Structure 1
């Protein structure tokens, strides 16, 4: 399974912010849209990723206030990215290594979407559930006369 399979189901709604916007505006947008991340774009280029993790770290660093902090101060300026052709096993490995909950999907320099660790986990579980249903149907419909011999392996 590839990242493109997740994007196809997820849709193409993207939420972005610029690095020079006030962090307070970005936080408001995240709360309003009930999202955990914003892609930081500057003149059509990916420049960073803002997640609730970066927001919390910035607020703690600033003594519990956002103040006039800009997005660029809080954002991760080297976000982990993948392509729509990246295999989900590779995405899981990358996200686990970096403790990344969100990953922009890029096609060369164009933002195609964002996938979350939840999206990846859901895709894996859905795939396993489908496979389990197919295996159970196969076993239930086992052709007569082809019963497994004692000691034989499936």
Structure 2
């Protein structure tokens, strides 16, 4: 399964913010749309990611407030990315290794979407459920053993 399969199911809605946007406004956007990340875009290019991790860290450092902080000063300015053709078996260890919950999907410098660790986990579970259903159907349709005497060895009584 590829990242493009997740994007196809997720749809094409992208939530973005600029680096000079106030963190307060970015948090309001995240709350309004019930999302955990915003892609940070400048002049049509991805320049970072803002996730609830950076927001919480900022609030902790500022005594419970976001203050007048700008997105660009707290965003992850080197987010790990993947392409639509990346296999999920490659994405999972990448996300686990860097404790990344959100990953931008780039295709030739164009942001195609953002996948979350939840999206990846859900896709893996759905794939496994499908495989389990197919295996159970195969087992149910398993051919019966050949009756004794038709080429099968029969046990002898002692």
Q: TM-score, normalised by structure 1?
A: 0.93
Structure-1 residue corresponding to 2:10: 10
Listed one character per residue, the Cα deviations across residues 17-75 of structure 1 (whole Å, up to 9, x for unaligned) are 00000000000000000000000000001000000000010111122211111001111
What CA distance in whole angstroms lies between the structure 2 residues aligned with 1:138 and 1:65? 58
Instruction: Describe how 1:98-113 pairs up with structure 2 within 5 A.
Output: 98-113=98-113
Where does structure 1 differ by over 2 angstroms across 4 or more consecutive aligned residues?
Answer: 143-147
Say whether 1:140 aligns with 2:140: yes
Q: How many residues align?
A: 148
CA distance in 2, matches of 1:146, 1:24: 72
Give the superposition deviation at 1:146: 6.1
Q: What is the CA distance between 1:108 and its match in structure 2?
A: 1.6
Distance 1:108 1:53 in 2: 28
Q: Name which of structure 1's ranges 57-66 and 104-113 shifts more when overlaid on structure 2.
A: 57-66
Determine the structure 2 residue equivalent to 1:22. Answer: 22
- Kindly indicate whether residue 78 of structure 2 is the aligned counterpart of residue 91 of structure 1: no
Aligned residue for 1:40, secondary structure, equals strand
**Equivalent position SS for 1:113:** strand
Task: Assess, with a 3 A threshold, how the Cα gap between structure 1 residues 146 and 103 changes in structure 2: closer, same or farther.
Answer: farther
- Name which one, 1 or 2, has greater alpha-carbon Rg: 2
Q: Does 1:32 align with 2:15?
A: no
Corresponding residue for 1:49? 49
Structure 2: segments with no counterpart, 5+ residues: 153-158
Q: Alpha carbons of 1:59 and 1:45: their partners in 2 closer, same or farther (altered >3 Å)?
A: same
